[in-house]
Chain A
Amino acid sequence: MKRAVAVAAGVLAVVGVVVGVLVSRSSAGPPPLGNPASGGGGLECAPGTTLADGFYALENDSGQTVTITSVRLIGGPGQAMTSRAYLTPAGPGHGMLIGLTPPWPPSAPQWKQRKLAVGGTIAPHTWGNLVFAQTRTSSHPKPAEPEITYTAGGNNYTLIEVVQTLVAVNCGD
């Protein structure tokens, strides 16, 4: 099964009279962007060298605004994130996701409405399509997955997607 961690761990530093105490604060309920570990893994593979990776929908199911603090590609030797990460509109009324597909930059109409993912926000009960350039850097690459850190309601969260993406020479079974 694919790796997955979605941890809510808000950290509140409290300096006492005698010693400093580090307090970990967890929010009640599920993480605002969900827990993909509960859904099983998978692999999306497309042939090429540099593709737009817009396969992931970040769905804010909470009543709090989500602010993205970092995005990086993990795992996957032979796979690299070769652009900054962006958010484009997604969800009801916004057509399909951009997907793992050429060209880079994307030709999809919603690309014109992109904003930088880091520092960007996802309003309560709305979606963002995470989009970045994914480049194959070897002839035998391994699948990779994005790790997204974000804040909501004063808590910090880390989301690691469990469906991986792979830019390959060929996508066989």
Chain B
Amino acid sequence: MRIKPWVGITLGVSALAVLSVTPAITAGASTTDHGVRNYIWKPGTTLPTIAAGEKLVAWPVQSVMGNIQVGERVPVLTIGHTTARGQYVSTATRSQLASVTDENGLVNLEAEPDGCGLPEFHQNLGKQWTVVGTTFVLFNQANQDFRYDNDQSSSVGVGYSASGKDGSFSADGTTSVDTDGGEDWGTLGEGNERYATYFRYGVYETICSTRGGSGYEYYQIKPYEWAAGDQITHPNAPSYHGYNCVPQTHNSTFHKYTSHAIEFSGGYSVFGFTGSTQTGYSTSAEVIMHFYARGRMCGTNDVPGGTDPRVLLAIKY
């Protein structure tokens, strides 16, 4: 039976508190061989569901992750576990929880079996281009600019493998990475633009034991820090509906601060694994479009001023 821990805000209140439990359905991450799942969690919201005999661990913030060397252990923090009788036990204090919360208020959680130890930084995969945004200007009387400001968070897909071999990894939830600087891909004219920046990735090995005394290990590909840099590629333009467009007058400008953004299924590729990426957990990614002549601006999913326009296009009137 899967057990839903009570809302996460209670975690910081007391250590070792046995909390009431409610059956619930797991959402947000696929389940791997050993039930390992990764989540981005905001303290105060409902925690992910874990089963009896599982624990929730929080991975360190980027400033800690970036200083861990190959062969060293990752000091993950166990924030709670579910007993065999189905009770969730919180084991993190408020200050402990604060230490694993990034500047955007997010915690990278992993659900794993109780018998697993600290992960080891197994292999450094180095810098990989990681897609964080896209915009389109489809006529020659407008320009576009994508900016990725200080403390922007991106959600990055995690790879999981039981063997750790190249090409054996599959998707297993997401983790967040935030920036400690900004990136501006520059003002661009007509074109189909997809913006990428460097993140550094590693393979992390976790060794677990079972009650019978046998052991097993699993491996995960995760980003451990943002490394700046900018790259632009040129995808095909998406389709849109005219009712998601607004006219833009001569010399008008539109700024959009993205807290929702498109998910890129091929956001990065490394070690035979292709992971997803999504920008927009905070609002410091910005799209700017300037129209030198009358035109139209459209969203692929909503009007440009709406809740979730996703991709923005500037087109001829």
Nearest B residue to A46, CB-CB: B252
Nearest B residue to A166, CB-CB: B253
State the CA gap A90–B306 with chains docked (Å): 13
CB within 8 Å of A: which B274-304 residues: 280, 283, 288, 290, 296, 298, 303-304
* 15 A–B contacts from the bound complex (CB under 8 Å): A34-B307, A40-B256, A41-B257, A55-B305, A92-B243, A95-B243, A96-B243, A97-B243, A97-B245, A99-B249, A101-B249, A101-B252, A170-B251, A171-B252, A173-B290
State the CA gap A94–B243 with chains docked (Å): 7
Q: How far is the CB of A23 from chain B (nearest CB, A)?
A: 26
Query: What mask results when residues 1 to 17 of chain A are scored 1 for a CB within 8 Å of chain B, else 0?
Result: 11000000000000000
Find out whether the CB atom of A90 lies under 8 angstroms from the CB atom of B243. yes
State the CA gap A6–B247 with chains docked (Å): 27
Interface size class on chain B is 20 to 34
Q: How far is the CB of A38 from chain B (nearest CB, A)?
A: 6
Find out whether the CB atom of A161 lies under 8 angstroms from the CB atom of B305. yes
Residues in chain B near residue A127, CB distance under 8 A: 243
Find out whether the CB atom of B258 lies under 8 angstroms from the CB atom of A40. yes
Find out whether the CB atom of B251 lies under 8 angstroms from the CB atom of A100. no
Residues in chain B near residue A102, CB distance under 8 A: 249
Find out whether the CB atom of B254 lies under 8 angstroms from the CB atom of A42. yes
Residues in chain A near residue B283, CB distance under 8 A: 1, 40-41
Partner of A96, one of B245, B250, B280: B245
Q: How far is the CB of B277 from chain A (nearest CB, A)?
A: 17
Q: Which 5 A/B pairs are nearest by Cβ-Cβ distance?
A: A39-B307, A40-B259, A96-B245, A99-B246, A99-B247
Find out whether the CB atom of A36 lies under 8 angstroms from the CB atom of B307. yes
Find out whether the CB atom of B259 lies under 8 angstroms from the CB atom of A173. no
Find out whether the CB atom of A42 lies under 8 angstroms from the CB atom of B305. yes
State the CA gap A171–B247 with chains docked (Å): 16
Residues in chain B near residue A36, CB distance under 8 A: 306-307
CB within 8 Å of B: which A54-111 residues: 54-57, 59, 90-102
CB within 8 Å of A: which B103-147 residues: 145
